[in-house]
Amino acid sequence: MNTRLQTSAETSSLHHKVYDVQHIYNRYAGMLLGYIYDVVKDKALAEQYLADTFIAVVKVPELFNNPNDNVYCKLQMIARKRLAGYFKSVGNCEVDEIVSNRPNTFLSKMNVRQQTVFCGVHYHGKSIPTIAAEMNEDEDVVRRVLREAFVIIRTR
């Protein structure tokens, strides 16, 4: 009898997790697909990365337990990890290479420093201290440059 109750409880827990992932998918998949498509510029490839992202979400449901966290930011983080191989082709974020390989209106509006910092954080997943060391700048300067890049993105 105890075994039956455990199995029932486990099944209930499993259904709850599936519902949570399904809810997250229903709510955020469209936005995330748009984000991924903006990076890869290929619909089929973007859909595959979206599927890979949600496969990863199923494996880490504990990331989505806190209702105060921004779910979309966490999904972007997982998607960026999935896209890491794709981002390696960006290289050292040379201005002409970025704009020609990945046409992106936001990147083309940024200066070289802003592109280097933004690509370092966004595409390569580098930390602010790492980028500061690579650029031989203070961390505060790198944070300011990153904020400038985000202002460009927000002010289409």
Q: What integer pLDDT is reported at residue 119 of this predicted model? A: 82
pLDDT at res. 93: 52
Q: What is the pLDDT of residue 8?
A: 43
User: Of 75-84, 93-102, 144-153, where does mean pLDDT reach its minimum?
Assistant: 93-102
Mean pLDDT of the chain: 77
> Does 88 score more than 90 pLDDT?
no
Whole-prediction pTM value? Answer: 0.53
Q: How far from each other are the two terminal CA atoms of the chain, in whole angstroms?
A: 62
Q: What is the pLDDT of residue 7?
A: 44
Residues 6+ apart with CB under 8 A from 123: 80, 87, 90, 93
Q: What was the pLDDT predicted at 94? A: 52
Backbone phi, then psi, for 116, in 5-degree steps? Answer: -60, -45
Give the chain's length.
156
pLDDT at 2 over 70: no
Closest CA to 72 of 53, 87, 58: 53
pLDDT at 146 over 70: yes
Cα separation values, 132 from 34, 74, 116, 117, 137, Å? 31, 24, 11, 9, 5
For the chain, give every residue range classified as CATH 1.10.10: 87-154
Q: What is the CATH number of domain 87-154?
A: 1.10.10
